[in-house]
Structures are given as C-alpha cells and as structure tokens.
Amino acid sequence: MSQVIVSGIITGSLYALAALGLVLIFKTSDVVNFAQGEMAMFCTFIAYTFMTFVGLPYYIAFPLTIICAGILGVIVYRLIIKPLSKSNVLSIMIATLGLIMILNGLAGNIFGFETKSFPKLINAKNINILGVSLEPNSLLIVLITFAIMLSLFFYFKTMEGIAIRAVAQDVDAAKLMGISVKRVTVTTWIISSMLAATAGMLIAPTTFLDINMMSEVHLKSFCAAVLGGFNTFVGPAVGGVLIGILENLVGKYISLAWKTVFAFILIIVMLVVRPNGLCGKSYRRKV
Amino acid sequence: MLIIKNLKVNYGYVNALKGVDIDIKGGQIVSILGSNGAGKTSLLKAVSGLVEDKSGTILFDGQDITNMSTEKIVSLGISHCPEGRRIFPQLTVEENLKIGAYVLRNKKVNLQEEFERVYAFFPKLKERRRQVAGTLSGGEQQMLAIGRALMSKPKLLMLDEPSLGLAPIIVNEIFKIIKQINSEGVTVLLIEQNANGALKISDYSYVLELGQVVSEGDSKKLLNDEGIRKSYLGA
Amino acid sequence: MKKYMKQVIILAIFILLPLVFNFNRSFMTLLNMAGIYVVIAIGFNILLGYAGQISLGHAAFVGIGAYTTAILSTKCNLSFILIIPIVILISGILGFILGLPALRLQGNYLAIATLGFGVAFSHIFMEWESVTGGFSGIKGINPPNLFGYQFKTRLSMYYFILFFIVVSIIFAKNLIKTKTGRALMAIRDSEYAAMSLGIDVAKYKTIAFLISAIYAGVAGSLYAFLFRQVYPNTFDVGMSLNILAMIVIGGIASIEGSVVGALFITLIPEFLKNIKVQNASFILTGLLLILCVMYFPYGLVDIYRRFKVWLKKKAAVKDEGVKV
Amino acid sequence: GCGKETKTTLAQGVDEKTIKVGTIGPTSGPIAIVGVPMLHGMQAYFNMVNDLGGVNGRKIELIAKDDQFKPDLALQKAEELVEKDKVFAIVGQLGTPGCLGTLDYFKEKGIPAVYQGTGVSAFAKAKGNYFPVQPNYTFEGGLLVKYAVDNLKANSIAIIYGNDDAGKEELEGVKAQLKKMGKEDVLKAEVPFNTQDLDFSAHVQKAAEVKPDVTIVVGYQKAVPGILLEAKKQGFKTQFMTSYINADLTMLTLAKDAADGVIVTAWVPDITDPNNQAAKKFIETYKKYFPNETPNAFAAAGWVAAEVFVEGLKRAGNDLSWEGYIKAMETFKDWNDGIAKGITYTKDRRNGVEKMYFMKAVWDEKMPRFEKISDFVGLE
Amino acid sequence: MNKQALNFKDITIAFGGLKAIDSLSFDVKEGEIVGIIGPNGAGKTTLFNIISRFYKQDTGKIEVFGEDVSSLKPHDVINKGIVRTFQNVELFKHMTVLDNLLIGQHRNLNYNIFSSLIMTRRVKRIEEDAKKRAFEILNILGIGNYAYYYPINLPYGIQKKVELARALISNPKILILDEPAAGMNDTETIDLSNKLKELKDKFNLTIIVIEHHMPFVMNICDRVVVLNFGKKIAEGTPNEIKTNPQVIEAYLG
Ligand SMILES: Nc1ncnc2c1ncn2[C@@H]1O[C@H](COP(=O)(O)OP(=O)(O)OP(=O)(O)O)[C@@H](O)[C@H]1O
Ligand SMILES: Nc1ncnc2c1ncn2[C@@H]1O[C@H](COP(=O)(O)OP(=O)(O)OP(=O)(O)O)[C@@H](O)[C@H]1O
Ligand SMILES: [Mg+2]
Ligand SMILES: [Mg+2]
C-alpha cells in the first residue's frame, strides 16, 4: 500500500512538472498549449544529441538544452503566437495542435524513431524507508518540482508576475499600464519552453526517450492542472500527485484493466463537486 | 504639451474621427464634450495608440508619438483611464493599483506611499484592498480605475468619463481631485458627460460632433453658450 | 423557389460530382468519410460555435453510434430504419449525461471532463469484450437496405450519406434561425442576461450536448454502414481533436464552415501524400493548420465573405466612376 | 488474377521490367516508431535485390501508404493500392487495426498478402491469399509457458500483459497451453497493464504477491523495461520471460542490469550474433541504405517480410498471376534460407513461423547481449 | 394603483463578513416609479441581483404581487413579469441588435423545437411577427436604424438603449433598471426620463430604477429609497429626499 502511494506521488510529480509550463501559458493567455509535451520531447532529443553526438557531459548538456529551449520558445512565439495575437483562443489552440504535428514529425526525421535510454540526474543506490523502496533520483525530482512550483508562485506576486496576469485578463488595459504585451508573452513562452525542457529531461529516464515519450504524461498533466485548478501553481502539484496515487490505488484494489476508466470518472466527479479544481478559486463575473 | 493635427480614425467603414485638431498646453485642464458616438473615446484611444487605423500627427512634448506603441507612449508620462473601467477583474484592488505603477518599476518609488495617496482620495478602496476587483460595485470599480491611473505619476492624465456611475458626492470629490492633481502640475485631458462639472473645472474645452470639432473655447465662455447649454446641459 | 436557387445548384453539383468525374473507389471512400465528418462537425459546431460549450470527447459519441449500429445489425439483424432511431435515442441519452457536468463546468474544466469521457469510452470499447468484441471489433455489419435496395457500393453510400448531410444542414440552419438556436447563442454571450430573459441555461446547455451527440451518433452509424466493421481505436482523442480542428478551420458558428472544415481536414492528406519525403504530409498538415488559423481567423468560409466584400468594392468603384 | 485475355498470365502490377508492391502502415505520427524502421527494412531488402538485377529481370517497386494506425484509412489506402496503383501484392502490412480492417477487402480481391505485422491469429485462419510470417501470439504464449513448466520447472507463474491485442492473445495462448497440459492451477496471477502506463508499482506488487517462480511479461518495447526496473526497485525476485518483441538490444539498453537473466523467445536468429550470416547481411545492407539508423527488431521484421515475398516471386518464376504466386508460396516447406527459419505453407497451413528458440539476456556494460539457451522448438 | 407590486421583507445578504444588504424592507406599488439611490457600494445592484435570483438572500423574503418568489430560479423570474437591465450592459455581443430583441421575446414564442427544425408555417409566422415587434420597439426608442448592428460597435449610450428595448419587448409588468442614464449627458438624460414616463403609461409598467443622476431621479421618480451600507436610511418623495440631511451627508454632498 505505502509503496504504491509513494510511487503514485513520484509519478504524480512528473505530471505536475509537465503541467507547470502548461499552467504558465494558460495564466498569461488563456491558451492551452497542446504542444507542450512535444516541445519537451524535442528538447530532450536536443539534450541527447549533445550528449551522444557532441559528447558533452550531462551537467553541461542540461543547461545548454535549457538555453536551446528558450530559443525554441522564442521561435514558437515569433512564428505562431505573435501572428495570432489578435485571434481568439481557440485558433491559437488549433495552431498548437498543428505544432504537435510539426515537432513530432521533425523529431522523427531528425532524431530517428528508435527508443533510447536517457540518463538520470543522479545515479545513487535505492534507499529503503519503512519498507518502501525509493530512488534518490525520484526524490530529487519531487523536490525540483516543488521548488519550481514555489518559485513560480512567488514570481507571480512580483510586479512582473502581476503584469503577466494583467495581460491575461485584459490586453489593452495592460498596454495602458505600460506593459509590453509582446515582451511579457515572449517571456512566458521562453520560461514555459524551458520548463518543458526540464520536465522532458527529468521524465525521460522513466518514459525512455522517443517521439512519444510525453504523450501520456502530457495528457495526464493536462488533467492534473485542471483537477488541481488551472489558475494556480499549487493546483498541478496537488492534481498530479492525486492522479498518480488514485491510479495506483484503483489499479491495486479495483482493477488494473479498468483503472483509466475509473480514474477519469473520478476526475469528472471531483470536478463536478469542485468546478474550479481542488485548489482553484472560484471567480464569477459580477453583473 | 499635446498637439493633435488632422487626426482621422476609422473602424472599417466607420469614420469615427474626421480630421481633428486639438492643442493642449502644459498645466491646463482641457475638457472634451460631445454626445454619444461623437468620437471622444476614439480620440483618447488614438493618443494612447490603441486604434489601428489612424492618420494625422500627435505630438507629445514635441515628440511625435503617432506611431509609437502604447507601452512607449504610456512610459513617456501619459496615463489613460479608459472607458468602461477596464480594471483587472481577477487581481485584487491593491494589485490593480500596484500594476498602475508599472512604468515606475525601475525607479525608486515607495509603493506604500502611493497606495496611501490613492486611499486618501478613495477611502472605500482601502476598506476593500484585498477584495478581487471584479466583485466591486460599479462605482467602486470606477474609483479603482481612476486611482490606478494616478499611480503612474503621469505628466498628462487622460480621463474618459471618470464620473460615470459615481454617487454625486463622489463626483464632486472627483472634480476636486482633478483640480488638486492639476495644481500639482499634471496636465489633464477630461472627457465628461457631466458637461456642467467639466466646464466648471476646465480651462479650455472642445466640442466634438460626428468626429469633428464643432466648437472650442474658454470653458467659462462655453458654459454660457446658448447652443451648448441646450445640447449638453439639459437647459 | 427562387429563394433556394443557390442551395439547389450546390446540391445538384454534389449529386453530379461523382457521376461526372467517376472517382475511383478509394477516393469515394475518402469522400464518404469526409461526408460523415461533415455531419459530426455540424453538430459539434452547434455545441461549440453556437452554444459556446467545448467538448474534447466527441469521438465517444461517434463510437457509440457506430457500435450500437454494429451490434444491432450483426446480433439483432435490424434494418437501418430501426437502427437509426435507436442510435439517436442512445447517443441522445449519453449526450444528456455528458451535459450534466457541463452545467457546472466551464472552459478548460469542461474540456478535461469531456476529454475524460472520451478517453473512458475509448477504453470501454476496448475492454468490454463481450459486447464490443475488444480489439477485434465487430465485423459483418449489413449494408443499409431500403425496399430491397442495398447500399453496398461506395457510390450508393455517397448518396445515402448525402441525404443525411442535407437533412443535418436543414435542421441545423432552422435551429439556429429560431428560438432554440438563439437561446444557445445567448448563453454563449452572457449567461446572466440569458437567464434574466427567461432562458433556462441548464436546459439549453443540455439540449446543445444532446443535439451534438445525436449528430455524432448518427454519423457513427453512417460510419458503421460505410465500412461495415468497427474497431475501437478509431474513436480516440485524436478524432475528437480532429473534429475540433475542423470547425475552427472551417469557421466557428457557421454551418457552411463545418462543411468546409470537415472536407478540408479529411481531404488534405490526400493532396499532400504525393510528397515523397518522410513524414512530409504529417508536418505539412500541421503547418497548414497553423497557416489557416493565421490567415483565416474566422475560418475558411471567410474567403466567401471576403470575396463578396471585394465584389461590392469593385461595384462601388464602378458606381463612382459613373458619377464622375 | 484479373483480366487475362492476352496470352501472358501476368497479374496487375507486373510487367517485363517491374513488379509493383504495396504496403500499408503507420509511418507518421506516434506509431511511426514501429512503422518507419519496418518500412526501411523492406526497402533495404528490395534495394538490394534491385541492385543485383531484380527478380528474373524485374525490379521491385514498393509503394508505401500511411494509415496512421487507423483501420478506416488502412482500408481506403488498400483500395487505392489495389484499384488505382494496381499493385501485385501487399507486403508487410503493419498494425493490428489496419490488418483487420483490410482483411475482408483483400480476401474479396484475392491479392496476395505476405506478412502481417501483427500477431493476431485471424490471419493464420484466413488462408487463401494470406501468408502470415511472424509467429502469432497465441502460439508464442503457449511456447513460453511450456518452457516455463517443462524446462524451468515452474510451479507458480504470473503473467503481466499489455492490455492490447498482443497481450490478450498471448494470455489466451498461455491458458490454452496450460489447459492442454492439465496444469491450469500453475497460473497464479494475471496482471494487465495499459500500454501507456508509466508507473508499474501496483502491477509488480500484484505479481509479487503470489511469489511466482516465473513471471511472463508481454508488451511493447517501452513497458517491459519499465516493469523490469520497477521489479528491481521493489526487490521482486523471479525468473522473467518475455516475448520476441523484446528480443533486441533495446530492452537491454533501456532496462540495463534489471534485464539481466530475462529469458526471451526468438524466431529471428539473433541479429546481434556475429556468426549469423543471414543476420550479418541484413545489418550490412540496412546500414548501407540507411546509414543513420540502427537496425532494430522492427527493421528486421520488414526485412523478413521482403525476403519471404521475394522467395515466393523466385519460385513463381514467370507465372506471375495471383494464382501462380499463391501456388508458388504453397511450396514453402521448412524454408530456412532467410533470417526467419522453418516456414511452411500448404493449402491449410498458414501459421508462418512455428518454431522458436530461447535466449537469455546478459547485461554487460561493454557488450550487452543475448545467449542462446535452447534449440528451435515447437509446440508439438 | 395601490396594489403592491413588489415587497421586500427584511432582506439581508453578506459576502464574507460584509453585509451588503442589511435588514432591508420596503415596497413598491403597482404603477409607481421608485428610485433607489445611495453611495457607491451601498448594495443597490446587489438588491437587483437578489430580485433576479442571481444571489440568494441570507434572510428575508421578496413578494411579487403578493407571491413569495424566494425559491424561484433566475430564468423563472421573468415569468412573474419582472425584467431588468444591467449596470455594465449585458448585451449578446455576437448577435445583432435585432437578434438581441428576439431573445427578449424568447418565452413568448410558442413553438417547440421539432416544429422549428422543419420550419412549419406557424413557426415562420411567429418569427415574422416577432421581428415586426422588435422593429416597433426599436423605433419607439429611436434606434431602429441600428437593427443590424453588432452591439460592440455601438456607442455606450445606444447600447444602454438597446438593453432597455430588449427588456421592454418581453412585456414586463415590472421593469428594473440599473443606471440607465450612465454615460449620457444632461440633455440625453432628460430625454430618456421623458421617454421612460411615456413608456410606463403606454405599457402599464411599474419601474424601479437605480440612478446616480439626480436630475433624472427628480424628474421621474414618485418615490425614492436611499440605501447606505445596505441599510435603508431614508424613503420619500424626491423633494423630501433632496433635503434630508442624512442623505445629503452620505450621498448628495
Ligand atoms: N470597435 C469599433 N468598431 C466599429 N465602430 C466603432 C468601434 N468603436 C467605436 N465605433 C464607432 O465610432 C464612433 C465613435 O465612437 P466613440 O466611442 O469614440 O464615441 P464617444 O464619443 O466616446 O461616445 P460615448 O459617449 O458613447 O462614449 C461611433 O459611431 C461608434 O459606433
Ligand atoms: N460577489 C461579491 N463578493 C464580495 N463582495 C461583493 C460581491 N458583490 C458585491 N460585493 C460588495 O457589496 C457591496 C455592494 O455592492 P453593489 O454592487 O450592490 O453596490 P451598488 O450599490 O450597486 O454600488 P454602485 O452604485 O457603485 O454600483 C460592494 O461594496 C461590493 O464590493
Ligand atoms: Mg466614449
Ligand atoms: Mg451598482
């Protein structure tokens, strides 16, 4: 029991990690970036290329990839988001669907279709706490997830953070405050692309690296964000961990074959009970 | 300080402004009157760079700002309190005020002092400073919008119908505040439906009709103009 | 009659199209699939475009329609005349059920709830082997039979599907021109105002889900009749996202848009497939999606409107010329 | 065959210089992971044959269609291949949904269909123009459990299987074989997983609870290493066995030491074995035509499909009508010349490969490898 | 004239700790025009939201023509003859002015969804009639030429009028208006108040109106209720109110 719960927390923190970038974009532009997972995958391949073909060590490839991810964020912004800045949210979401196809297709062509193994952050022996076996690497991932979550949470209280939220709520009014909407948007795309890369590189040892490595994580991260509350940064963590645990418990005690069905039904039910997610604040427009 | 020459604004086929000339001297309060749809809001939006299809020239402190981006214009010291309040509904009152001072973010400003200055004008806002702005009453939102516009310490303050939805006692207050701010050296461009109040506090006024300036002059003079009285003052 | 001239001409073109060009079988298959997507997209547009409610689980309804048809046809040997009303009933009930969370959820929360519904159903199609045949699906569905005529060939199915498209369009057009359609749009624009004018928001949201589920269900039924076999992995999240893409590309809140979008999305791979570069059609499809929303933010139907505006401008210039 | 008014008996897609061949599979999108290497495997073989002058002077032209792993698109592409491109045969079609979706159509047309990239037993039953090559999963499941009981003396067995066609058929096979041996009680736990699962802690726990001597794991490449790693983490000690799907280095490189000692079945002689001439040719040729890729098990599958098809062509000689080709294929008798061994086709026997052997994975940082631990064995 | 149209009995509602309305009681007679004034944030709009059932009061009840409506759903309120406008204009933005007015007639269009799918003759006739009526009302308010405009492109003042038209077209008995004259100048405001009086007589309306524009209130209201901090601080004719020291202190200044 405790083993599956701990495992659930660890898997859940992967979902949460992947969800943070999603939430960031959503908070700035109300857009759900369907391509978040593919961006993560693409960046992870870049890291892999640095390590195997350029021969760089992990601790150099990692930050280098983060920089590349930032560039990818700028490219996505310049080529897709900016030209669409006057379009409605749905159009942008469809464009990110298109981006999935482009990134997935290109990744296959550039990096090949084989599944590869990707190194862990740290390689230490499993530790055993109260009969639960734990990988130190997983613990580190959980910590990193929470650290990123907390930094984002506090970042959003600063002037720049408030500016990001202001842009999401009213673009013209934000401009009237002297906020450069372009700069704010490109910044969030850069950060979220970097988050994607981080997520990808930390998740790859678990899912292994290939063009599909993020598909399941991405779907679940989306669920995690919504379940926890799409407009908070604490939400994805809560949602992710909950989904991770839920799936394992349903699998263990009800049915492994039907666990996805159960998990989704439970998500729907939880949402109906708390329509803004577990941590989300309800905001109703006043008339 | 602000010189507008032959300004035209179009929305598709609608010609909202058809060549407007306006000249605002530093330190003045200038008001603009006009009935619904006359193009008053369009004028302010053109100045702050929020309309796309415009022509003519707009000079601010001698600098051509016609084709500048809104954020640049604003950082030059123009503050625009827009029509329809446009507060950020999901930010708290205090966050709304804070973002009002965004252009001062790199200067050493004591935000707390600035908050207190606004709260002194509108004590109601202080009571509600942790409330999410979207749930404020209409008038409270209006106060917030004005307060937010004051936070950036502008050289030119443009107010689009600030008295809209405010109780008479606050309307009087607003005019007093405008006067006070003006006396601190801020130039004010004021759009008002409350023509009486606007004419009383302003130095100079323009009357817009169907996108054109139909008359202008010293506010005191206009206040006694028969035509103006009939169309705007309900007399 | 003159009023409907345009519509009649368009219909005539579609009736004659396969006869004149004598398309090969595989292209007819593709056209038929596109036709089925047209029906789904129209219904989905009523939900998303008009009522403003998102769903990322619509493939489930298509699947339900298809599986219901498959089961009734193979196990009970029912005629399509009976199957379709049953499909309407079942997908309507499920649409109603999915509509329930929609009463409380909005935006992404609704998107995820419906997505969950879709994922859950795609697993059910796979797992509930005794009913759905599991991964082997169901084969041997009888072709629709009308007074002894069997709709077996691709061409006959084309007309069979065309009939449903025409009915779908007429119903949808009438719906949005009248009370129900307006109520849906009202809810989309302002729930508060709608309520204060006597529109029962819950009821109409449910109706929107119900109608679009029925459209999808019937389309699913057509799907089963076209291929005469069903497999679970057809009705997955990918299909739901495709449906979404169709109406955004074609035009939100536009019936013509649904038609154009469905045809566009189903047929582009056909035009891109000749590029012999690895993955090219996949990548280009993605690129096209982006370009479409970039250059036609109101959907491809906007081409027609722009064309009309352009014509008018030309005419106006001429008029002026006369004056001078 | 069709339309043979002329004296030549050539079927569609064949002329004096070329033979057109079609294939369908997912070559874009997620499942391209399988589709592309498999396609390249075929392409490599055909290129080699063509460069050597073709078969009886005819070069083989491969037309590949992408079905995105959808049965409806597969059918549409099938119609296109048969009726528009007029191919002579369908070779190496990939994917259970697509293969099932086109089954009726190809049967109706009678076009030769060689090698289905799926282990579903429906194609062995199809007979006629169908020539499956790859061993079907039911057969393999039986073989695995037989080995576990007979050779490994297992008294308790758990199976962790992917919740898809492959896994379920494998489970069927395991159960059927145990029933045949009267040992149904040996199977202590059946644990399904979803193919996309990431977290296998519950699965492994469930299997570990019954303390099985042998645990059979069936699933695609990514899940199996995931399960092995989780088992290692939880300290679950058992003899793992898995399917030929994982009989290449991918499993070892992904699971590393956790895969040490895992027993796998194989039907393609170990492609990593330097002494295997057939395999060596495959690897060399593949690298020649696709220098940037590492040949894996999927690529080998494509190669085998092409190899078997071309052998049929050679046997048919100039009688390249569909009937002629089918007849020629039915002369395969324990054919061992290619990578795949022991293929026999008769009018009612279409099981493809019916003999496999077992290997043991050896984790060695420098040279991870498989070691053969049995001869080719069958179920009879 | 003396029948009670609306009766508020001891209404209280709180948001968090704050009482937006505090034990408020008053009534409105049939055919009256009652003004509600009070400082910003006094609870006026909240009161309207309670009538509309968007908010549920914590205590107290509301009677419409003697009938308790506290348990009604928001969409049923109109069936009691009450319809409202909104402080910040709630028009259906993506629909034309005409369509907005057709929605105003929603519950008066008597046909079911099936007959509308096949567009029976009856449906067509009802729709035609509804359109005619829409134009009638638009013309009465002098905005007939805007029928095919989208509200976003209209000046604020016109939008307010469209909203009024949309409310009127549903044949209400009680019209509740939240700052109808906001954004209008004095002349326009007086025109509007005259128009409202005319409409009141023409359609036998009872009107409750929130407005900060004192000339408007003076011109139109039979009676005025003054709120402050959710409590009623005064009630009386406009002239009485105007000179009430409490009102002057809290509101008029
Ligand atoms: N976004 C827009 N699209 C089309 N037309 C517009 C748009 N905004 C304003 N207009 C039109 O431009 C003209 C001028 O509008 P503007 O808002 O400037 O008037 P205004 O004087 O501020 O009126 P009000 O007193 O009602 O605020 C009006 O006729 C209006 O209908
Ligand atoms: N949903 C809510 N949550 C919290 N506070 C609210 C909410 N709705 C209203 N309030 C508060 O209740 C008070 C009354 O608001 P209301 O909108 O009724 O004022 P009003 O009298 O209409 O004012 P105005 O004249 O400015 O429109 C205000 O102080 C407002 O901030
Ligand atoms: Mg204006
Ligand atoms: Mg109010």
ipTM computed for the complex: 0.90
Report the DSSP beta bridge partners of residue A118: none
Q: Looking at residue C1, what is its pLDDT? A: 57
Expressed in angstroms and rounded, the spacing between residue D316 Cα and the centre of ligand 1 is 82
* Distance between CA atoms of residues B171 and B187, nearest Å: 19
Beta strands across the sheet bearing E223-228: E82-84, E174-178, E206-210, E33-37, E223-228, E231-236
Q: Is residue C96 part of a domain?
A: yes
Considering only CA atoms, which of C297, C295, C273 is closest in space to residue C283? C273
- How many A from CA of A122 to the centre of ligand 3? 62
C12 part of a folded domain: no
Over range D349-360, report the average pLDDT: 86
Reply yes or no on whether the pLDDT at A271 is more than 80.
yes
- Find out whether the beta carbon of E230 lies less than 6 Å from any atom of ligand 2: no
Q: Which tokens hold the place of B122?
A: 């509108």
**Ligand 3 centroid from CA E155, angstroms:** 7
- Output the pLDDT for position E3: 85
- Which tokens belong to C53? 């409610």
Q: What is the pLDDT of residues E230-245, one digit of tens each?
A: 999 999 999 999 999 9
d(CA D331, CA D314): 12
Domain ranges within chain E, ordered by starting residue: 4-81+172-252
Mean pLDDT (whole number) for C80-84: 93
Q: For residue C318, what pLDDT is reported? A: 53
- pLDDT higher for E156 or E6? E6
CB contacts of E46 in chain C (<8 Å) are none
What would the pLDDT profile of C269-295 be if each residue is shown by its tens digit? 888 877 777 788 888 889 988 999 999
Ligand 1 centre to CA of B53 (Å) is: 14
Give the burial class of C150: count Cβ atoms within 10 A of its Cβ; 0-12 exposed, 13-18 middle, 19 or more buried: exposed
Task: Say yes or no for a CB contact (<8 Å) between A283 and B89.
Answer: yes
Q: What does the pLDDT read at residue C280? A: 83
The mean per-residue pLDDT over the stretch E17-40 comes to 93
> Is pLDDT above 80 for B189?
yes
- Of all residues in chain C, the one with the smallest CA distance to A227 is C109
Find the chain A residues whose C-beta atoms sit closer than 8 A to any C-beta of B.
Answer: 159, 162-163, 165-166, 169-170, 172-181, 231, 283, 285-286
Instruction: Evaluate whether residue C10 is within a structural domain.
Output: no
Cβ–Cβ < 8 Å for E224, E211? no
What's the mean pLDDT in C210-223?
Answer: 97
What pLDDT band is residue D141 in, cutting at 50, 70 and 90? very high
Whether the pLDDT of residue C319 is over 70: the answer is no
Is C43 contained in some domain? yes
Q: Ligand 2: which of E46, E177, E209 to mutate, judged by most atoms within 8 Å of the beta carbon?
A: E46
Chains D and C, touching by 3 or more CB pairs within 8 angstroms: yes
Q: Which residues of D touch C24 (CB under 8 A)?
A: 79-80, 83-84
Confidence (pLDDT) at D5? 44
Average pLDDT over residues B17-43: 92
What CA–CA distance (Å, rounded) separates E63 from E66?
A: 5
- Tell me the pLDDT tens digit for each residue of D260-290: 999 999 887 666 667 778 788 888 999 999 9
The SS3 of residue E98 is helix
* C324 has a pLDDT exceeding 60: no
pLDDT in tens, B85-111: 999 999 999 999 999 999 999 888 899
Q: Which domain holds residue C62?
A: 26-323
Nearest protein CA to atom 10 of ligand 1, as residue: E153
Rounded CA separation A140/A146 (Å) = 10
Q: Which residue minimizes the CA distance to atom 22 of ligand 1?
A: B41
Interface E:D, ≥3 CB–CB pairs < 8 Å: no
pLDDT cut 90: percent of chain C above it: 60
pLDDT recorded at residue A262: 85
C7 lies in a domain? no
Q: Report the distance separating Cα E247 and Cα C270, nearest Å.
A: 76
Confidence band (pLDDT; 50, 70, 90) for B225?
confident
Instruction: Name C128's Cβ contacts closer than 8 Å, sequence gap at least 6.
Output: C134
pLDDT of residue E53: 94
Nearest to A39 by CA among A71, A16, A79, A82: A71
pLDDT at residue number D1? 41
What was the pLDDT predicted at A1?
67
Report pTM: 0.91
Distance in Å, CA B142 to ligand 3 centroid: 14
CATH code assigned at C240: 1.10.3470
Question: Residues of B with CB below 8 A from A159's CB?
Answer: 98-99, 102, 105
Q: Are B135 and A286 in contact (CB under 8 A)?
A: yes
Q: Determine which of A174-178, B186-190, D374-378 has the lowest per-residue pLDDT on average.
A: D374-378
D4 pLDDT tier (thresholds 50, 70, 90): very low
Domain count, chain C: 1
Give the CATH class of E4-81+172-252: alpha beta
- Over 70: is that where the pLDDT of B199 sits? yes
Neighbours of ion ligand 4 (CB under 5 A): B 137-138; E 45, 87
Section D104-116 average pLDDT: 93
What confidence score (pLDDT) does residue D8 get? 55
Q: How far is CA A36 from CA A83, A116, A236, D200, E19, in A?
A: 19, 21, 15, 25, 45
pLDDT tens figures, E154-207: 888 889 999 999 999 999 999 999 999 988 888 888 889 999 999 999 999 999
Residue D342 CA to residue D340 CA, distance in Å, equals 7
List of chain D residues whose C-beta atoms are within 8 Å of the C-beta of residue C225: none
**Mean pLDDT (chain C, rounded):** 90
Residue nearest to atom 22 of ligand 2 (CA): E45
Q: Judge whether C298 is closer than 8 Å to chain E, CB to CB.
A: no
The fraction of chain A above a pLDDT of 70, given in percent, is: 100
d(C-alpha D94, C-alpha D92), whole Å: 6
